Amino acid sequence: MKKKVSIIGAGNVGATIAQLVVQSGIADVVLFDIVEGMPQGKALDLAEACPLWNSSSTIHGTNTYSDTANSDIVIITAGLTRKLGMSRGDLLHANTDIVRGVCTEIAKISPNAIIIVVTNPMDVMAQLAWKTTEFSCKRVMGMGGILDASRLKAFLSWELKVSPEDVEALVLGGHGDDMVPLSRFTVLKGIPVTELLPKRKIESLIERTRNGGAEIVAFLKSGSAYYAPAASTFQMIKSILFDEKRILPCAAYLNGEYGIKDIYMGVPVILGKEGVEKIVEVKLTKEEKTQFRKSCGTVRKLIKKLSI
């Protein structure tokens, strides 16, 4: 019997995650949204594509939370997306009530689920989801670091004119303007990128990574990125369902790791069937520690506004 993945929010991100899951055939999907007809229509369209993908996965669109009961994984994408000129933090109050309501329902009907939060501001919403569900922190996480690292890998591969498959990057901190890309852990087939590009060029690519989401919003005018966020989330889903134990940068609850307590922040984790099975600690330089703590401070300020 296939695992059950429920996606809360059938907008661009949610629907694209649904496509990746059913196209791969790795799980059955429930696509939920409060807008009547939208999840049903998108689910039907995807279901009719499954024969072309040779996929036996099922997908069901619904406006009823009970259809998501006993999910193995729940993805939360519901909420408002960024518009031109907005930061991820600007979505704080708009999305708090939405995520809190979603998590209240999840806790009641899928008490054993693993939750992946995509809704922005993601680090804060992950903390809110953990507090609301009262699940083990291992089973509540946020998607962000994978996306940020993927953007950096793309920019580096274009600059170096190499395959992105040969680039590895690591991004810590909050999923926002204060994210901390670590250039000394960014390598091309094991060769540090610091040996291949001048410092000024690396810094410009890091700055573009920090503004990666805003750059796409500026092009779209209305709406925000969804293909890369969906692909990042799918990588997490796959690592959990197949117990791959991939080392991936995700927003995880820190309880002393990196000298930080009681906050969700982006760090490398081992992701398996239990969720966040281990937080991987790397030694940071003095400058990196300063940047990481600054990023933590930004997230804490947002958390304090919600009193969570």
- Any idea which residues carry the catalytic annotation? 175
DSSP label of 285: P
CA separation, residue 137 to residues 31, 32, 254, 263, 304 (Å): 24, 24, 9, 11, 19
On whether the CB atoms of residues 186 and 156 are closer than 8 A, the answer is yes
- For 46, the token pair is 């995807």
Of 126, 137, 175, the C-alpha closest to 276 is: 137
* DSSP letter for each residue of 221-280: SSS---HHHHHHHHHHHHHHHTT--EEEEEEEEEESGGG-EEEEEEEEEEEETTEEEEEP
187-188 and 191-192 beta bridge pairing? antiparallel
DSSP state of 70: T
Query: Which two structure tokens, joined as six digits, stand for 232?
Result: 């990042």
Report which of 265, 299, 291, 293 is spatially closest to residue 279, judged by C-alpha positions. 265
The DSSP bridge pattern shows strands 275-279 and 261-272 to be antiparallel
